[in-house]
Amino acid sequence: MASSSRIFPVYLPVCVAIAVVVVIAGSFAYPPLAASSAAAMTPEAVAARLAPMAHEEFVAAAPAAHALRSGQTVYSGLCIACHGAGVAGAPKVGDKKAWGPRIGQGFDTLVKHATEGFKAMPPKGGGADLDPQEVARAVAWMADQAGASFKEP
Ligand code: HEC
Cβ-Cβ contacts under 8 Å for 116 (sequence gap 6 or more) = 123
- Residue 77's φ and ψ, nearest 5 degrees, are -90, -20
More confident residue, 76 or 56: 76
pLDDT at 44: 74
Nearest CA to ligand 1 atom 2: 82
Pocket test for ligand 1, best of 68, 70, 83, 92 (most atoms within 8 A of CB): 83
pLDDT at 1: 47
Cβ 99 vs Cβ 79: under 8 Å: no
82-110 pLDDT, tens digit per residue, is 999 999 999 999 999 999 999 999 999 99
More confident residue, 79 or 59: 79
Ligand 1 pocket residue status of 82, Cβ below 6 Å: yes
Among the listed residues 107, 141, 139, the one whose alpha carbon sits nearest the alpha carbon of residue 124 = 139
Taking residues 51-58, report their average pLDDT: 56
Residue 46 pLDDT more than 70?
no
